Amino acid sequence: MNHSDRTFGAKGLESEDELVEVMAHHKWALCQAFEYDGLLYLNDGDREDSPEYAAMKIDEVDGLMVTGREVGRIRSLGMDPGQVRQFVRDMRQGRWSMESPLRLKAEPDWHHSCELCEFKED
């Protein structure tokens, strides 16, 4: 994980289709994360126009602190949705490309505001 010091705003998603849509077709703030089926997909990129997601298997949640393992990475924007779907399915089925310990802060998307996503007036 390149940016484990970020506080992520996590939005829960209801379906695989919804996750594939947000990952393959949209740009997000650098603090955005999506939760689906026990995994967090964290925007670990350096630029909003080039999101790179770290997939994190959630082992424990203690308040806002999430402990788990980074299990995969994907640069999904502009990829064929079928490729993104296959990545998501691989992650859900435990076909991981890595397993690195990870602990970070994530809060509900509706509550989140930080320097990476906050609107600031001049």
pLDDT digits (tens, 9 = 90+) for 8-66: 999 999 999 999 999 999 888 999 999 999 999 999 999 888 889 999 999 999 999 99
Show Cβ contacts of residue 91 under 8 Å, excluding neighbours closer than 6 positions: 39, 55, 57, 71, 72
Of 118, 109, 93, 112, whose CA–CA distance to 34 is shortest?
Answer: 109
How high is the pLDDT of residue 118?
A: 67
The structural domains of the chain, with segments of one domain joined by +, span: 7-111
Supply the pTM of this predicted model: 0.90
Do 25 and 111 form a contact (C-beta atoms < 8 A)?
no
**CA dihedral for 53, 16, 9, 25, sign (positive or negative):** positive
121 pLDDT more than 80: no
Give the per-residue SS3 of the chain. Answer: CCCCCCEEEEEECCCHHHHHHHHHHCCCCCCEEEEECCEEEEECCCCCCCCCEEEEEEEEEECCEEEEEEEEEECCCCCCHHHHHHHHHHHHCCCCCCCEEEEEEEEEHHHCCCCCCCCCCC
Give the span between the Cα atoms of 63 and 71, in whole angstroms.
Answer: 22
More confident residue, 78 or 8: 8
Q: How confident is the model at residue 120 (pLDDT cuts 50, 70, 90)?
A: very low
